[in-house]
Structure 1
């Protein structure tokens, strides 16, 4: 929504907002209540989502050969919490560009420097689907998909 508002302001610049931009704003505002409820539900269930995602990651095929130590689990949990919260905010504000600019490019650079492909967002998605109603999970899906694609190198 922040990016949308910035774009609308830039295009209007001394003129009236176009009918097309008004429709975009109407669409964003019409889904506000559903996005807010999903955001609040994610916040309430954060601990369960993260615990389930971390456990799924720890027991996945990726870590069978080399299990994560306590430090690895703690870092993974920290990264997942950050990712979940940032994706939730992007969903609330309906703003994928903000998610990319404020978090994912930075996070992606760190993981590239460490020569790691991060798949935590896949596990967050699986956990989130079991914790939220389907409609709320679907609102969240596009942001997790962007995050997963950027971080896993796909």
Structure 2
């Protein structure tokens, strides 16, 4: 929404807001209550979501040969919590660009420097789907998908 508002302001620049931009704003505002409810549900379920995602990651085939130690689990929980909260804010504000700018580019650079193909968002998405009702989880889908695609890219 922040990016949307910035774009609308830039395009208007001394003129009235166009009918197309007004429709975009109406659409964003019409889903506010439902997105806010999904955001609040996610916040309430965050410990369960993070726990489920870390468990799925630890039990996945990626760590069969070398299980994660406690430091790895702590870092994984920290990274997943940050990612989940940023995806939640991006969903609430309907702002993929903010998600990219605030966390994904930064995370992407770190994981590339470490030569890791990070799969955490895949597990987060599975955990979100298991912990939230389908309608609420669906709001998160584009943001989790974007995060997973950016982090898993080679």
Whole-Å Cα distance in 2 between the matches of residues 140 and 31 of structure 1? 13
Q: Which residue of 1 aligns with 2:140?
A: 140
- 1:40 aligns with 40
Matches within 5 A, 1:110-149: 110-149=110-149
1:148 CA drift (Å): 0.1
| Matches of 1:129 and 1:112, distance apart in 2 | 28
| Counterparts of 2:138 and 2:98, CA distance in 1 | 19
1:63 corresponds to: 63
Aligned counterparts of 1:115 and 1:134: Cα–Cα separation in 2: 34
Structure 1 partner of 2:89:
89
Confirm whether residue 153 of structure 1 aligns to residue 153 of structure 2. Answer: yes
SS of 1:45 mapped into structure 2: helix
Question: How much has 1:51 moved relative to structure 2?
Answer: 0.2
State the partner residue of 2:9. Answer: 9
Please give the TM-score of this superposition, normalised by the length of structure 2. Answer: 0.99
| Misfit runs of 4+, over 2 Å | none
1:106 Cα deviation from its structure 2 partner = 0.5
Ranges in structure 1 where 5+ consecutive residues have no aligned partner: none
Give the number of aligned pairs. 154
Give how far 1:41 is off.
Answer: 0.2
Give the RMSD, CA atoms, in angstroms.
0.6
State the distance in 2 between where 1:64 and 1:137 align: 29
Say whether 1:30 aligns with 2:30.
Answer: yes
Deviation of 1:30 after TM superposition, in Å, equals: 0.2
Cα distance in 2 for residues equivalent to 1:101 and 1:47: 25
